[in-house]
């Protein structure tokens, strides 16, 4: 899959399209085909590592440990983990992501208790 990643801290100029490994749904996660993602202040601060404290909070002192950005999405469930009974394939949902992976990609795995199903 393709994802927008950053290998260094800095301005939006450091963002790159890159190939990334497709995530899989863990036992208590759902795999979501991302249809829309947003950019918010948390992404901006993470990209720039500003304030500096972000680096000390586990994101990496000299370069980011987590290459992906994005914590909000809307998409369609592709796979459901073994312990998850609330979601079904093809459900549409919106979510706040696990900040370790980011959602500036075409797919993402999310803890199942943090999503809301959107009914049409």
What CATH number is given to the structural domain containing 108? 3.90.180.10
Residues spanned by the domain of 11: 2-118
For the stretch 37-57, pLDDT in tens is 888 888 888 888 888 888 888
What is the number of domains present in the chain? 1
**Angle formed at CA 97 by CA 96 and CA 101, multiple of 5 degrees:** 165
- pLDDT of residue 99 exceeding 70, the answer is no
Q: Rounded mean pLDDT of 109-113? A: 53
Q: Are 1 and 19 in contact (CB under 8 A)?
A: yes
For the stretch 65-83, pLDDT in tens is 888 887 788 888 888 888 7
């Amino acid at each position: 899959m393709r994802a927008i990643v950053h290998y260094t801290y800095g301005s939006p100029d450091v963002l790159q399209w890159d190939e990334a490994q497709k995530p899989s749904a863990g036992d208590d996660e759902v795999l979501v085909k991302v249809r829309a993602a947003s950019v918010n202040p948390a992404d901006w601060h993470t990209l720039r590592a500003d304030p500096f404290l972000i680096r000390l909070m586990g994101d990496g002192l000299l370069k980011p440990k987590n290459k992906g950005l994005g914590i909000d999405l809307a998409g369609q469930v592709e796979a459901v983990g073994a312990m998850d009974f609330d979601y079904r394939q093809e459900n549409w949902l919106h979510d706040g992501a696990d900040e370790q992976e980011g959602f500036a990609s075409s797919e993402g795995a999310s803890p199942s208790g943090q999503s809301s199903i959107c009914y049409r």
